[in-house]
Amino acid sequence: MSFCVAIDGPAAAGKGTISRAVAAHFGFAHLDTGLLYRATGAKTFEGLSAIDAARSLQASDLDRDDLRSGDAGQAASRVAAIPEVREALVDFQRAFARRLGGAVLDGRDIGTVICPDAEVKLYVTASDEIRAGRRYRELQTAGEDITQTQVLADLRERDARDSARATAPLKPADDAHLIDTSDMSIEAAVAQAIALIAGKING
């Protein structure tokens, strides 16, 4: 049986944490599609063009230890706006989504472009200030020298670029369930997501 859960949303809204918890709960495979773009962006640091980086991407590239850096996040947003890059990565994502045993994919265009026929679509969001605080703490833990004001500016710049791009802009699918984590604990957000998915499986 294939069963696809598509989870979209902006950076630091909680979609990755929710996706991993949902996948573990139901025994589904999980793919953080943002890592595909981060890895592609990171490969451009080595002199490759974005298109060549996407076409030559290997599974081992997703294990790089620099993919969670702020630079990799900005590079991911830039390469994701290139239609040829997105095209090179689409088949991999769609095949993963329809693997037997169920799959959870999180990203920015899963419910709208990659898996418009997903059985469940969630859009996870939070206020800019809440997301900036979360990302700032992550980057501090990683040892990056950056202010929370700069993190907020970077998030808003990335959101604007991702929402305005002509190809696969960041937006909720028309039939996506909205989960706003601004004032929710992660436990509550995960419970809401699990309830929505279980309802679809059992219904």
Quick one: tokens of 20?
Answer: 């991993």
11 marked as part of a ligand binding site: yes
With beta carbons less than 8 A apart as the criterion, state whether 70 and 154 touch.
Answer: yes
In order of 66, 67, 126, 180, 187, the CA distances from 123 in angstroms are 27, 23, 10, 8, 17
6 marked as part of a ligand binding site: no
**58 CB-near residues (< 8 Å, 6+ apart):** none
Beta bridge partners, 123, equal: 8, 178
12 marked as part of a ligand binding site: yes
C-alpha 133/C-alpha 96 separation (Å) is: 32
DSSP H or E run through 136: helix 128-141
44 marked as part of a ligand binding site: no
167 marked as part of a ligand binding site: no
C-alpha 25/C-alpha 23 separation (Å) is: 5
10 marked as part of a ligand binding site: yes
Q: What are phi and psi of 21, to 5 degrees?
A: -70, -40
Binding region for ATP: 9-17
Which residues define the annotated binding site?
9-17
